Amino acid sequence: MARIVVVTSGKGGVGKTTTSAAFAAGLAQAGHRTVVIDFDVGLRNLDLIMGCERRVVYDFVNVINGEANLNQALIRDKRVDGLEILPASQTRDKDALTFEGVEAVLTQLAETHDYIVCDSPAGIERGAHLAMYFADDALVVTNPEVSSVRDSDRVLGLLASKTRRAEQGEPPVSEHLVVTRYAPSRVGKGEMLSVEDIREILSIDLLGVIPESTAVLNASNAGVPVILEDKTDAGQAYADVVARYLGEQREHRFLDEKKGLFGRLFKG
Amino acid sequence: MAAASPQTTSAFELKGRMATLTVLRLQSNDARHVLVQLDERLAEAPGLFAGMPIVLATAAELEPSADMLAAVVAGLRERGLVPVAGMDLPADALADLGLGQMRNSDGERQAPERDGPESARSAQRPAAGGSRVITQPIRSGQQVYARGGDLVVTAPVSAGAELMADGHIHVYDTLRGRALAGVQGDTNARIFCRTLEAELIAVAGQYLLSEQMDARLRGSPAMAWLEGETLRVETI
Ligand SMILES: Nc1ncnc2c1ncn2[C@@H]1O[C@H](COP(=O)(O)OP(=O)(O)O)[C@@H](O)[C@H]1O
Ligand SMILES: [Mg+2]
């Protein structure tokens, strides 16, 4: 039985798709059969970040509408074994994702995968709701700014009330905080919230901190999930996120201005 | 016109959604009396009420005339408030005033939107006197109402969240959102919190916005209560 992980935030442009690509690639590198699904119907850019946009023939909506079967739509990653992508459609309207359709696709994927990573669109409308509805775990992606933290807080409220687990009275979706685009120098100047502030406001477990890094843009231009660039700070930070998610204890780093220094260990 | 085909794009969506509305409950049959007191209230918080949707209701023993309602509605509109509906008021009078009809029979009352799973569960099994205990964080956009009793929260309350209770409110964590105790008018209701960072606190309708609270209280354990008409806040 697969575990369904939604990558969500409320706010757009905070790094959900970057995180989805890196996280899914990291899980696959660790030997888990993983599929990452782009729920952002209309905007579709997971395939770009994964570098497989030219191989998209059928998409998520085609599968839901019965115009293609899953095997026709899934794209196998060429670099990482056991990693597949289900792209979003570019042209269809947002109502193309139906509750029953999403449920059927997830059920089928769950038979053949260990992890299903759902890259949520921004907002709290239909697409975002469907992306989180079936989740077992959530990565809540937050930038160190007040508006992003507020939107993440809203999303946490929805995870606790508008998901299958909540509605059926099962154990709640387990929530993990991923702070991205973290620039310690700007935190020092008081221009950004610190990781401690964000954790305090959201009061959920911190899975990792991804530094603001030019490596992310370079990797996305090259169509490579940044975690595969293992010499880069952001790549290493995502590797830590995956390892911690899989149960390994790792110190948090990239929290301080001085490069290469390990950040202090967070307690609890 | 080269517009999108009206057949293929849906021009609207109908959604059932719970929202908090301010209810103005008439306790006098004299429209002028009502409006004079309203002006005093508005003067305390200029701007706060501008554009605020209002539901008109009335104390059980009053039977306001259509003229009286018309005068109040006109007065509200003059003051920038937006009367939207009447609750348990004569249908024909409401229709004449362009207001919707709402009913407030207890059986139809719904749980607030986005109540967490736990709060939904505790709503089904109310503790003694309608008190509720919430152990999960209450997030921005969520509302929790302890109808007929106290509200006890043992987790943080986010900015943008709203707590309401007919009785006391206890928050054994940080209160960043809004807390309204004694919402049915109990002037003995109090608010207690371990860390005060609230946006607004209110007891029986008397409220303080964060900027009206003593800045030294921020971040402290605090209690709020009514002394006469004055809402007091002190550390505890
Ligand atoms: N850690 C980071 N450092 C620098 N830029 C980043 C980082 N994470 C994301 N970005 C950039 O932010 C933009 C939005 O990222 P994306 O993953 O598409 O966000 P979302 O899916 O939440 O809209 C992209 O241009 C991406 O390259
Ligand atoms: Mg995205």
Does pTM top 0.90 for this prediction? no
Task: Please tell me the least confidently modeled range out of A76-80, A110-114, A119-123, A259-263.
Answer: A259-263
Torsion from C-alpha of A226, A230, A235, A239, nearest 10 degrees: 110
Q: Return the pLDDT at B3.
A: 47
In whole angstroms, give the CA distance from residue A64 to residue A66.
5
Q: Is B87 found in the same domain as B159? A: no
Decide: A17 in ligand 1 pocket, CB within 6 A: yes
Do B149 and B166 form a contact (C-beta atoms < 8 A)? yes
Indicate if the pLDDT at residue B129 is higher than 70: no
Final residue of a structural domain among B108, B140, B163: B108
Nearest CA in chain A to B160: A150
Q: Is B66 found in the same domain as B152? A: no
Q: Strand, coil or helix: what is B173?
A: strand
Q: Is B141 found in the same domain as B185? A: yes
Q: Is B85 found in the same domain as B32? A: yes
Asked whether residue B118 is domain-assigned, the answer is: no
Nearest to B196 by CA among B208, B183, B182: B208
Nearest CA in chain B to A173: B117
Decide: A14 in ligand 1 pocket, CB within 6 A: yes
Q: Is B162 found in the same domain as B204? A: yes
Q: Strand, coil or helix: what is A161?
A: coil
Task: Give residue B165's domain range.
Answer: 132-235
Q: Is B137 found in the same domain as B191? A: yes
Indicate if the pLDDT at residue A119 is higher than 80: yes
Q: Is B136 found in the same domain as B103? A: no
Decide: A44 in ligand 1 pocket, CB within 6 A: no
Q: Which residues of chain A lie closer than 8 angstroms to B10, CB-CB? A: 95
Q: Model confidence over B12-71: pLDDT tens digits?
A: 877 655 556 788 888 888 888 899 888 887 776 666 677 778 889 888 777 888 889 999
CA B4 and chain centroid, separation = 41
In whole angstroms, give the CA distance from residue A101 to residue A106.
9
Asked whether residue B113 is domain-assigned, the answer is: no
Final residue of a structural domain among B66, B92, B108: B108
Q: Is B162 an 8 Å CB contact of chain A?
A: no
Q: Model confidence over A239-259: pLDDT tens digits?
A: 999 999 999 999 999 998 755
Between helix A16-29 and helix A233-245 the angle, nearest 10°, is: 60
**Domains of chain B: total:** 2
Nearest CA distance, A165 vs chain B (angstrom): 9
In whole angstroms, give the CA distance from residue B158 to residue A112.
40
Which CATH number fits the domain that encloses residue B143?
2.160.20.70
Q: Return the pLDDT at B46.
A: 62
Q: Is B82 found in the same domain as B151? A: no
Sheet containing B82-87, strands listed edge to edge, beginning at the edge strand earlier in sequence = B22-26, B53-58, B82-87, B100-102
Q: Is B42 found in the same domain as B97? A: yes
Q: Model confidence over B157-196: pLDDT tens digits?
A: 999 999 999 999 999 999 999 999 999 999 999 999 999 9
Determine whether the interchain pair A160/B136 forms a contact, defined as Cβ–Cβ distance below 8 Å. yes
Q: Model confidence over A25-71: pLDDT tens digits?
A: 999 999 999 999 999 988 889 999 999 999 999 999 999 999 999 99
Asked whether residue B150 is domain-assigned, the answer is: yes
CA angle, A121 as apex, A47 and A229 as ends, to 5°?
A: 45
Q: Is B89 found in the same domain as B162? A: no
Asked whether residue B117 is domain-assigned, the answer is: no
Q: Is B166 found in the same domain as B82? A: no
Q: Which residues of chain B lie closer than 8 angstroms to A203, CB-CB? A: 137, 155-156
Q: Is B149 found in the same domain as B101? A: no
Looking at the partner chain, which of B9, B116, B139 has a beta carbon nearest the beta carbon of A154? B139
- CB under 8 Å to B110, separation ≥6 — which residues? B18
Which CATH number fits the domain that encloses residue B65?
3.30.70.260
Asked whether residue B41 is domain-assigned, the answer is: yes
